[in-house]
């Protein structure tokens, strides 16, 4: 009897939840439509305005169809809506349409359309592989079994749906499913299971800062706590629930105000307060504090126009008062109040409520010793309870009837009661186990997944370390290769340097040889010639002596040419100046540029000597052959080499012609001896440009 209220609450909750779902869908449609409209407006030109309008119309007609279906329960409406939605071709719109009609079908207990929605969602999932559609599909299946009163199957599919949403990290969907699951568990008196589901739901919904479903979770939690004898805690939860409901209503109000709707939400808050009072009263009833319970129920009942606007709450409050009056021995009042509730519920054809009220009345009449009336009401209660498998009241009424009926009939009823009670007890237990099992399996799977994941990550880690090892290996290999390469190049460069030094030494040796030849030319040949000259002049052969003089001069010049200078005492710059002075004339001007940019002291003597001799040769050539009037020596030092560019404005020559003679060839050879590069560019009548590049250290 005291369960009357919570059963009412349960059904109310469900209704409320669903209608809210609908509301969400509706607003989503509006929002979606607006976005789409805006989008289209920007995208398409004015010429397709009609199309745009068409789209808008379709959305509108979908909303219209949904409302129509809710009101009229015409079974062809979902099909129509689906066809329309499929024409619009918006996947998320389509999914929403299926889901929202599925929920409506459930509320209308329209099994055909519920399975149609489920099938549509399945097809949608197959086509798009959108897992959220699969979650919705399972949810539909759960709803389907719910209608068929197969609580365990419904629970199973809710759980499946929940698990997918968990994977999708869609916390709100998870929360909704857990709320439904907790409701089933509550109905099946698995209060602990219900509590667990709710706590899980709260964990999911918490980060979302959502108030609406959170509120329902707290209400359900309050109910579960109340049933399991923790009334004080339950009251706390109910207060939280009320606060959340208030906030939710206020939020809605804000939204409505913003949209310019009439404000009807604020009036709702007072009915929610009535609901809170009902809940609180219920907890006091459970505690046996009937007077306190009565106070709260009366508070709830005194809410103005509650009968008109919130009939369920009115019924609950009045039923509660009746029950408490009964408990306090005020039987007449109880009967009167129960009768009033009965009338109201009969008007509404609220079967579940009727079961409760009839059973209550039966109790009241029993207490009043009006056995006939008691049997009458008890029988109706039993019949209705059996129709909807409202087991609690089946048992209650069977027990009551067995007491009221005399003799064999009473005994049979008592037997029926015991058998049912026994089977129900077993079923309850098995269901509890089943719920636990279903969740356990899921958790096990989760754990397996987790361990698999762990294993995977472990393997990945291994792979990564392996990869790292490999990389390290390659790095080491690379470094060693580099090292070897570096060493090789070092050896090579050293070898090169050694070679270069050897070349320089060779040059020096050659130079000494040259000097020796020059010396012997000067000393011996010239000496001999001089002696001859002396003799000839003594013998008055002056003609011969003259020609001998010329020979002598030539030999001397030759020896001078061959011999080179000492580079140790005089700076290279002075040497060059001296050299240039030798050939300088107003009609043959030699300019030296940037000679000071080179740190000549650091340059190897062989290089300097070679440069000196080369310059001398080139100057001679320019003066003798090129008939140049200006010759420019331009020095440049780079990090590794000395560059000398010698250009004249002479008549030039054919660089590739073979007759260029040994002069140029010798120059080239001389430079190449010390690993230098010697290039000649020449243009007839324009001049010649010779570029010499000598590396400073042989690299």
Partner 1 sequence: MENKIRILIADDHQLVLEGFLNSLKEVGDFDVVTTTNCDAAFDLIKTHINSNPFQLLFTDLSFDNITEESDLDGGEELIKAIRNNEFDIKIGVITGHTKTNRIYNVISNLNPNSYLLKSKSSATEIGFAVQKMLANEYYYTHEIHQKILRRNVVQIQMDDVAIQILKELPNHSKISNLEGVIKKNNGTAIKLRSIETKLANLRTDLNANNNTDLILKVKELGIID
Binding site for partner 1 (CB under 8 A): 522-523, 527, 530, 534, 556, 560, 565, 569-570, 574-575, 577-582, 584, 586, 589-592, 595
| Residue among 481 and 570 whose Cβ is closer to partner 1 | 570
Torsion angle of alpha carbons 278, 281, 286, 291, nearest 10°?
-150
Specify the 3-state DSSP secondary structure of 273: helix
Q: Which of 80, 121, 83 is nearest to 102 (CA)?
A: 121
Judge whether 539 and 498 are in contact, CB under 8 Å: no
Q: Which is nearer to partner 1, 456 or 566 (CB)?
A: 566
User: What Rg do the C-alpha atoms of the chain give, in angstroms?
Assistant: 56
Instruction: Tell me how far, at minimum, the Cβ of 602 lies from partner 1, in Å.
Output: 21
Contacts of 631 (CB under 8 A, 6+ apart): 588, 589, 590, 591, 619, 622, 623, 646, 647, 648, 649
Task: Tell me the closest approach of the beta carbon of residue 651 to partner 1, in angstroms.
Answer: 21
Phi first, then psi, for residue 75 (nearest 5°) are: -70, -15
Distances (CA, A) of 356 to 350, 381, 692: 10, 7, 117
How far apart, in whole angstroms, are the C-alpha atoms of residue 498 and residue 493? 8
Question: Quick one: 436 or 577, whose CB is closer to partner 1?
Answer: 577
| Dist. CA 313–CA 277, nearest whole Å | 10
In angstroms, give the least distance from the CB of 635 to partner 1: 11
Least Å from the CB of residue 591 to partner 1: 6
Per residue, what are the HEC states of 69-84? Answer: HHHHCCCCHHHHHHHH
State both tokens at 223. Answer: 């109910």
Whichever of 412 and 525 has its CB closer to partner 1, that residue is: 525
Nearest to partner 1 of 133, 631 (CB atom) = 631
Give φ, ψ of 683 to 5 degrees: -135, 130
Q: Is 584 helix (H, G, I), strand (E, B) or coil?
A: coil
In angstroms, give the least distance from the CB of 516 to partner 1: 14
| Residue 603: CB minimum distance to partner 1, A | 18
CB 577, min distance to partner 1, A: 5
Q: Which residues contact 315 (CB under 8 A, 6 or more apart)?
A: 8, 341, 344, 345, 350, 353
Q: List beta partners, residue 592.
A: 633
- Written as six digits, the tokens of 296 are 């709260």
CB of 545 to partner 1, least distance (A): 13
CB of 266 or CB of 596, closer to partner 1: 596
Q: Encode 126-138 in three state secondary structure.
A: HHHCCHHHHHHHH
Q: How far apart are CA 63 and CA 27, in angstroms?
A: 10
β partners of residue 591: 632
Query: Residue 393: in which H helix or E strand, if any?
Result: helix 391-404
CA pair distance 381, 390, nearest whole angstrom: 10
What are residue 684's phi and psi, to 5 degrees? -55, 135
Q: Least distance (Å) from partner 1 to the CB of residue 692? A: 19
Identify which of residues 493 and 634 has a Cβ nearer to partner 1 in the complex. 634
Q: Residue 28: which of 172, 151, 218 has the closest Cα?
A: 172
Smallest CA-to-CA distance from 356 within 300, 299, 394, 404 is with 394
Q: How far is the CB of 638 from partner 1 (least distance, A)?
A: 19
Shortest spacing between CB 596 and partner 1, in angstroms: 9
Q: State the nearest-atom distance from the C-beta of 657 to partner 1, in Å.
A: 33
If DSSP codes are grouped into helix, strand and coil, which group holds residue 290? helix
C-beta closer to partner 1: residue 13 or 575: 575
């Amino acid at each position: 009897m005291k369960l009357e209220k919570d059963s009412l609450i349960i059904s109310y909750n469900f209704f409320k939840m669903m209608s809210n779902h609908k509301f969400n869908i509706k607003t989503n449609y509006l929002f979606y439509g607006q976005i789409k409209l805006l989008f289209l407006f920007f995208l398409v030109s004015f010429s397709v305005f009609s199309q745009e309008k068409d789209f808008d119309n379709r959305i509108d007609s979908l909303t219209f169809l949904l409302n129509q279906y809710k009101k009229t329960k015409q079974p062809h409406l979902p099909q129509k809506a689906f066809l329309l939605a499929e024409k619009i071709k918006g996947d998320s719109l389509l999914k929403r349409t299926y889901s929202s009609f599925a929920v409506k079908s459930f509320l209308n207990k329209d099994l055909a359309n519920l399975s149609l929605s489920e099938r549509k969602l399945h097809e949608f999932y197959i086509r798009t592989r959108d897992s959220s559609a699969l979650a919705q599909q399972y949810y539909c299946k759960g709803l389907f079994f719910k209608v068929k009163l197969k609580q365990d199957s419904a629970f199973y599919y809710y759980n499946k749906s929940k698990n997918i949403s968990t994977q999708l990290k869609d916390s709100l969907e998870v929360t909704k499913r857990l709320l439904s699951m907790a409701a089933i568990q509550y109905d099946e008196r698995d209060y602990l299971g219900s509590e667990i589901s709710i706590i899980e739901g709260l964990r999911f919904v918490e980060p979302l800062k959502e108030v609406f479903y959170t509120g329902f979770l707290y209400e359900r939690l309050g109910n579960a706590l109340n049933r399991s004898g923790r009334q004080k805690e339950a009251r706390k939860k109910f207060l939280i629930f009320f606060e959340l409901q208030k906030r939710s209503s206020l939020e809605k109000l804000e939204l409505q105000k913003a949209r310019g709707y009439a404000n009807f939400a604020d009036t709702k808050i007072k009915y929610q307060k009535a609901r809170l009072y009902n809940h609180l009263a219920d907890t006091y009833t459970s505690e046996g504090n009937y007077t306190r319970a009565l106070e709260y129920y009366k508070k709830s009942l005194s809410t103005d126009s509650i009968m008109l606007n919130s009939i369920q709450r009115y019924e609950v409050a009045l039923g509660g008062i009746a029950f408490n009056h009964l408990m306090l021995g005020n039987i007449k009042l109880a009967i009167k109040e129960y009768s009033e509730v009965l009338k109201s519920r009969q008007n509404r054809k609220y079967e579940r409520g009727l079961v409760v009220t009839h059973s209550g009345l039966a109790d009241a009449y029993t207490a009043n010793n009006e056995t006939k009336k008691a049997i009458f009401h008890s029988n109706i209660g039993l019949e209705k309870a059996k129709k909807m498998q409202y087991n609690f009241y089946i048992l209650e009424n069977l027990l009551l009837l067995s007491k009221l009926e005399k003799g064999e009939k009473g005994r049979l009823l008592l037997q029926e009661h015991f058998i049912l009670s026994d089977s129900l007890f077993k079923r309850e237990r098995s269901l509890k186990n089943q719920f636990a099992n279903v969740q356990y399996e899921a958790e096990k799977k989760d754990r397996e997944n987790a361990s698999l994941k762990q294993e995977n990550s472990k393997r990945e880690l291994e792979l990564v370390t392996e990869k790292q090892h490999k990389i390290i290996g390659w790095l080491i290999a690379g470094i060693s290769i580099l090292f070897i390469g570096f060493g090789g190049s070092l050896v090579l460069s050293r070898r090169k340097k050694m070679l270069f030094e050897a070349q320089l030494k060779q040059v020096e040796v050659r130079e000494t040889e040259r000097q020796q030849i020059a010396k012997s030319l000067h000393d011996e040949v010239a000496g001999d010639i001089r002696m001859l000259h002396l003799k000839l002049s003594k013998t008055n052969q002056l003609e011969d002596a003259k020609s001998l003089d010329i020979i002598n001069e030539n030999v001397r010049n030759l020896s001078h040419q061959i011999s080179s200078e000492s580079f140790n005492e005089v700076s290279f710059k002075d040497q060059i100046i001296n050299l240039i002075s030798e050939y300088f004339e107003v009609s043959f001007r030699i300019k030296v540029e940037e000679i000071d940019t080179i740190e000549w002291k650091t340059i190897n003597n062989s290089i300097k000597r070679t440069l000196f001799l080369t310059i001398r040769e080139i100057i001679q050539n320019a003066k003798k052959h090129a008939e140049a009037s200006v010759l420019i020596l331009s020095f440049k030092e780079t990090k590794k080499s000395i560059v000398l560019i010698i250009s004249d404005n002479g008549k030039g020559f054919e660089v590739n012609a073979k007759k260029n003679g040994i002069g140029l060839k010798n120059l080239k050879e001389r430079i190449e001896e010390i690993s230098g590069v010697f290039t000649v560019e020449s243009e007839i009548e324009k001049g010649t440009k010779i570029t010499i590049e000598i590396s400073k250290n042989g690299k």
